[in-house]
């Protein structure tokens, strides 16, 4: 079995590559990644020398390059993680989100048609469903919830999902889609809430909470997500969408306070800042379908997963300190200074 994993030098893709190389030593895993600001070869260091693993630098939106790769590698399965993934960046500069998330997905789908594959899997997000109100805790996203996006990021991901489903219906391409809630865990890029708060806390810097901090996210430990994708690509039904979520809802403020307390810092570090435009209030996944059809359920509770994650950031300072000391500082100043 040969799998091309796109975006494997990023957070979830990197964890997925580690998981698959360990679990299936007889598989060939080819990681295709453009190494944007979010891609990091250090994330792949533990697998770089494993037999059956190969890294290729390239852009999923580069048709000539992608076709050549498919011709050379003849993959059985494609798992597409490659994307621009940060909502705030999509608000300041949407163009690259359309290019990578929509055009890039289209190029991969065309390559799959041209060269033939057993499965194309699209890693999507719960953000395609928009948000839920805070005063209706009984509501959850199911696979039939209408798409109703809020940000250029989520609109680009929903567009990609529609393309994937269209290629299934029109060209009979064997596709699956998973829509996952917020992930956390090792190798999470420090622009995102949890690693940003851990890094700032450790450096005694202010902790910028958007609005009142009452927005709710449904946190899923990244390895639980990787297990779900593994199950879908092997046993999921072609043409189907699967929601993946942890039933671990927390307000942003709860998350930030948990991190502060775990690191023994003062809650005075919290700084309420101007809200994100169009900020989604609550995400909450109903994972009944993947549970009933494939037997998947999350195994890591938030209270345990956050401890393991903090531990990882404490033990792997060189990984994230290198990131936040470079170009990232310009991004941080632009995003947070005088906010």
177 forms part of the interface with ligand TDX (CB under 6 A): no
CB of 265 within 8 A of CB of 206?
no
Q: Which residue in 22, 236, 28, 10 sits closest to 121, CA to CA?
A: 236
298 forms part of the interface with ligand NAD (CB under 6 A): no
Q: How far apart are CA 308 and CA 312, in angstroms?
A: 6
36 binds, among ligand NAD, ligand TDX, none (CB under 5 to 8 A by kind): ligand NAD
Q: How far apart are CA 205 and CA 336, in angstroms?
A: 12
The answer to whether 214 is a known catalytic residue is no
Any idea what the Cα angle at residue 32 is, between residues 240 and 313, rounded to 5°?
90
The answer to whether 280 is a known catalytic residue is no
210 binds, among ligand NAD, ligand TDX, none (CB under 5 to 8 A by kind): ligand TDX
The answer to whether 204 is a known catalytic residue is no
61 binds, among ligand TDX, ligand NAD, none (CB under 5 to 8 A by kind): ligand NAD
193 forms part of the interface with ligand TDX (CB under 6 A): yes
323 binds, among ligand NAD, ligand TDX, none (CB under 5 to 8 A by kind): none
Q: How far apart are CA 233 and CA 237, in angstroms?
A: 9
Tell me the window of 6-14, 130-138, 165-173, 321-329 that interacts with ligand NAD (CB under 6 A).
6-14
12 forms part of the interface with ligand NAD (CB under 6 A): yes
Return the residues of window 79-98 that contact ligand NAD according to CB under 6 A.
81-85
What is the CA 62 to chain-centroid distance, rounded?
22
Return the residues of window 19-38 that contact ligand TDX according to CB under 6 A.
none
Residue 312, classified by CB atoms within 10 Å of its CB into exposed (0-12), middle (13-18) or buried (19+), is middle
CB of 6 within 8 A of CB of 214?
no
Instruction: Give me the active site residues, please.
Output: 126-127, 153
| Residue numbers at the binding site for ligand NAD (CB under 6 A) | 6-7, 9-13, 33-36, 38-39, 59-61, 81-85, 100, 104, 123, 125, 157, 180, 182-183, 189
């Amino acid at each position: 079995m040969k799998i091309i994993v796109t975006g494997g030098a990023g957070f979830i893709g990197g964890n997925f590559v580690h998981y698959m190389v360990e679990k299936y030593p007889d598989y060939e895993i080819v990681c295709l990644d453009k190494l944007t600001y979010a891609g990091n070869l250090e994330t792949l260091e533990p697998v770089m020398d494993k037999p059956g693993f190969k890294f290729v630098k390239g852009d999923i939106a580069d048709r000539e390059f992608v076709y050549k790769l498919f011709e050379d590698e003849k993959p059985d399965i494609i798992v597409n993680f490659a994307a621009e993934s940060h909502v705030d960046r999509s608000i300041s500069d949407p163009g690259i989100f359309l290019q990578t998330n929509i055009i890039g997905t289209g190029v991969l789908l065309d390559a799959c048609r041209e060269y033939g594959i057993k499965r194309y899997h699209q890693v999507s997000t719960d953000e395609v469903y928009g948000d839920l109100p805070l005063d209706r805790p009984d509501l959850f996203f199911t696979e039939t919830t209408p798409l109703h996006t809020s940000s250029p990021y989520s609109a680009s991901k929903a567009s990609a999902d529609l393309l994937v489903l269209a290629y299934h219906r029109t060209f009979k391409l064997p596709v699956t889609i998973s829509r996952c809630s917020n992930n956390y865990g090792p190798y999470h890029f420090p622009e995102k809430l949890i690693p940003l708060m851990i890094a700032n806390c450790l450096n005694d810097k202010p902790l910028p909470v958007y609005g009142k901090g009452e927005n709710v996210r449904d946190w899923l430990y990244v390895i639980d997500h990787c297990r779900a994708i593994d199950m879908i690509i092997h046993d999921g039904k072609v043409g189907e969408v699967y929601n993946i979520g942890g039933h671990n809802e927390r307000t942003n403020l709860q998350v930030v306070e948990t991190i502060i307390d775990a690191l023994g810092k003062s809650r005075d570090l919290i700084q309420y800042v101007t809200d994100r435009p169009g900020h989604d209030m609550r995400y909450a996944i109903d994972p009944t379908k993947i549970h009933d059809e494939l037997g998947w359920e999350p195994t890591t509770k938030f209270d345990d997963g956050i401890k393991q994650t903090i531990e990882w950031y404490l033990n792997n300072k060189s990984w994230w300190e290198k990131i936040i000391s470079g170009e990232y500082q310009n991004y941080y100043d632009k995003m947070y200074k005088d906010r």
